[in-house]
Structure 1
């Protein structure tokens, strides 16, 4: 049976992480994932990731690592995750430590969804050029894995360099939490997924999911990785894409090979969100 969770674009005026996590666990949801933008530049030329106007709430998103910590601290079974962490906006040593500490609080119930970012101006504010974002993402994840896997770690690359160091605690999950790439799985991105990640986290309604699955399977076959080793999580970004979701669509995604479906909870006032969450609970029951 496919697992169903919630993807929250958390802000200061939405249902807060503690209340959301407690409710989600009580209702039988698998997980709660939180999105990220450190900020949005006031002057933006980059096109939004979907062919629609960017919602205003993208300027107001809370820190996902604080949200994950709060959610993990008040639950026992709920998986917490990022959807997605923009890796080029973080120093790899600091991010490795933050992720390890959250995995400790969560007792191993963490998933790290990652992306390289779409907003060139936002990336530039972090000292990253848009053309380099995937090369930087790759090196930073590989560097974090060195920290998670070794008592004394070092890494030397084009964008990440550090001499032998101690960095603790280590994650509860051996080798760190599962790392899932949230991007269209073109052949190039499929190579990233198979080389240094544990799965894929696309948005339904934006990406050609069947083509992405085929690209990942082909790359996994090429290098000898088992496709059953991957976590396939789909975000149902239907409100953004302007299409309707249903229990039937969840079944289609499961048939396609997705083991987890995240229902996107768009920011709004708590009364509106609670009504939407009740609908999500009905949808989860129907899908199961």
Structure 2
């Protein structure tokens, strides 16, 4: 099967090609892009489209690569040995399987999401090179080698907080999700809100794209934030006339908290509006 997007996810042609190329090459798909452009959601939709189970490994700053393979609880085993518990004789009782082991052990092909890999330390990607390349790893405590029964589709996301090692990048198929143009954004809105008033969407998107073009904005509003903002506009039944700002003198758009995420950007827009009002006197 080929990935062509789903009813709830608008995948551009180049994104579809990237997913299918990674599957064909049997390489991890490394996805980068602005926060809110649907990187994590892509893995969910690929799994849904292909009828595969999704296994998610969300990376934190404290996450170690070993945790994706397995963790050995030596402390619990020592305690049980002191208490004379029978289960202490089988070391497998103290091994906790990680997400990679879960994916490798699946009878069917699964989709494995390694989400926000750049949150971990710089050595994290290198520590997974062999496992992702050969689709196997060794369990020292039991002396067994775990091999993937069915090679999983691996999707890795990054917000570019850290540079990833060249050796790791070489083993991936890379795709950058460009920010949607207006036509693509319209399709995304139509998927989420079919039948929404066209004039309301037009006015809202005018404001949205104007905000993204404001120089010096610390956090540009993303696709997910536009969707949230439209939901609020519909819930509060805001008329499109309120969104019109042909003279540029309104301070900030209504319900701006869905679009703007820090006080610096709010203050900057207020200053720009104040200057615009003075110039128009």
What TM-score do the two structures reach when normalised by structure 1? 0.28
Of the two, which has the highest radius of gyration? 2
What TM-score do the two structures reach when normalised by structure 2? 0.29
